[in-house]
Structure 1
Amino acid sequence: MPQHILVTGPSRSGKSEWAERLAEKLEQPVIYVATALENPDDAEWQQRIEQHRRRRPSHWQTLSVSYDLCATIEQAKPPHCLLIDSLGTWVANGLEQDNETWQGITTRLLKSTQQASVDLIFVAEETGWGVVPAYPLGRLFRDRLGHLIRQLGAIANTTYLVTGGHVLNLSLLGEPLTNIDYD
């Protein structure tokens, strides 16, 4: 039965590195699903993308999937493992969607995840630990990502929190919430 793993935590905590280590341990061909939109005019952003590329093993396949993550999951076949990095940039790429359309997209993503025939490792940024953003688009991003992480955490086999350079297996240490309120 395929594993669904969620790796979450703050920026620069080591989430991606932990997810990469988990993918290597599965001993399957890895497809790295990069959700970032490249921007040649933003040298610092391109440097971040390049840092991720250099760290990945050369035998891993890379797919750039900025929008249709659901189709990528639905089309994946064993014995592959998909490492999806990251949900934060994927959510940011879809911020122009109205709430009804976004709800349909996330519903499809959750269904695709539950029906996936391959192992999935999701990397997601925790953004809701600080101040509530003072502008509407920032609040929309934070809320959409927070809801998605919570929903994926509810269906993941294992959820890890990476913070302060340490990894915590929340599935062993925590107790899942049974009722999910999306308001």
Structure 2
Amino acid sequence: MSRQIILVTGPARSGKSEWAEHLAALSGKSVIYVATAQTNPNDLEWQARIEKHILRRPSDWTTLHVPIKLSATLDAATAADCLLIDSLGTWLANLLEQEDSTWQETLQAVLHSLRQASSDVILVAEEAGWGVVPAYPIGRTFRDRLGMLVRQIGAIADPVYLVTGGYVLNLSQLGTPLTIAQQS
């Protein structure tokens, strides 16, 4: 099975979505943009952010709005497709109220679907753990779950890119991956 799993991660406003879009355009496949954001017509600033992303995408790309059911979307894609999932942090935020056991089931289902995917998959993820520990439990839950999600997808993906300060770094070439035993 010839397919590629790519992870693009980095801080806010670093250009990670633009880099992921560039990679998707280079794939030569039918690009399906998987938008995980939920729209809110009462939040004009959020709507403006979404619109900026929409305007940047080529008109021949298909857009799917998938705020929750990421596994099913991965399972349905074909080898002719390139899924661009933007973003994991937003998807996680949509599921943040899940109990730990339910979250673990959801996470394992997505990881399984990702490993079995026949399409190319480019995933965009935020880096939320570079700052202070959040003062509230829900913030700590988000940060910890996102960190582990990105780490586990990073173990599957090749390449893994870090976009920061206006530069793209290929971590797969520059770094040394941790083994699964070290990730506990």
Counterpart CA distance in 1 for 2:138 and 2:66 is: 22
Q: Is residue 136 from structure 1 mapped to residue 137 from structure 2 by the alignment?
A: yes
> How do 1:7-156 residues align onto structure 2 when only pairs under 5 Å count?
7-156=8-157
What is the deviation of 1:180?
A: 4.3
Counterpart CA distance in 2 for 1:171 and 1:42 is: 38
Read off the aligned partner of 1:74 and give its amino acid letter: D
Moved over 6 A (4+): none
What is the deviation of 1:90?
A: 0.2
Q: Which runs of 5+ in 1 are unaligned?
A: none
- Write out per-residue CA displacement over residues 18-44 of structure 1, whole angstroms, 9 at most, x where no aligned residue: 000000111111000000000001000
Read off the aligned partner of 2:183 and give its amino acid letter: D
Counterpart CA distance in 2 for 1:138 and 1:47 is: 25
CA gap of 1:43–1:180, structure 2 versus 1, over 3 A, is: farther
Q: When the two structures are aligned, how many residues end up with a matched partner?
A: 182
SS of residue in 2 equivalent to 1:97: coil
Percent identical pairs in the alignment equals 64
What is the deviation of 1:122?
A: 0.1
SS of residue in 1 equivalent to 2:123: strand
Counterpart CA distance in 2 for 1:163 and 1:157 is: 19
SS of residue in 2 equivalent to 1:161: strand
Q: Is residue 2 from structure 1 mapped to residue 3 from structure 2 by the alignment?
A: yes
SS of residue in 2 equivalent to 1:111: helix
Counterpart CA distance in 2 for 1:49 and 1:174 is: 33
Counterpart CA distance in 2 for 1:112 and 1:129 is: 28
What is the deviation of 1:157?
A: 1.5
Read off the aligned partner of 2:70 and give its amino acid letter: L
Q: TM-score, normalised by structure 2?
A: 0.98
RMSD: 0.7
What is the deviation of 1:77?
A: 1.1
What is the deviation of 1:181?
A: 3.4
Read off the aligned partner of 2:172 and give its amino acid letter: S
Counterpart CA distance in 1 for 2:183 and 2:120 is: 27
Counterpart CA distance in 2 for 1:44 and 1:180 is: 41
